[in-house]
């Protein structure tokens, strides 16, 4: 993939959260890295790139930029 297509980047640490973005079909996996938090707990950091709305002429109809997140993380699910 040509990274010039990416309009926005996010980094998340939960696999289910990363999958919520990827399931929209408009986010792509950029890369991942292992890390360690301030308490010493290990985590995985997932980098994702948003390709923009599927139909640039009607961007207001595209909800992929802010996907419906997994309820288990306490996100505001409608």
Q: What is the mean pLDDT of residues 5-34?
A: 93
Sole residue written with tokens 């997140």: 69
- Say if residue 46's pLDDT is above 90: yes
Q: Is residue 43 part of a domain?
A: yes
Q: Is residue 46 part of a domain?
A: yes
Q: Which domain holds residue 11?
A: 1-53
Quote the pTM value: 0.79
Q: What is the mean pLDDT of residues 40-53?
A: 94
In the chain, how many domains are there?
A: 1
The backbone torsions φ and ψ at residue 9, rounded to the nearest 5 degrees and listed phi first, read -120, 145
Interior CA angle at 67 toward 29 and 45, to 5°? 40
Strand, coil or helix: what is 9? strand
Q: What is the mean pLDDT of residues 60-76?
A: 74
């Amino acid at each position: 993939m040509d990274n010039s297509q990416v309009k926005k980047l996010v980094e998340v640490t939960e696999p289910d959260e990363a999958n919520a973005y990827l399931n929209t079909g408009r986010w792509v996996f950029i890369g991942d890295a292992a890390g360690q938090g301030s308490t010493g707990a290990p985590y995985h950091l997932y980098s994702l790139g948003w390709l923009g709305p599927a139909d640039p002429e009607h961007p207001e109809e595209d909800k992929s930029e802010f996907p419906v997140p997994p309820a288990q993380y306490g996100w505001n699910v409608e």
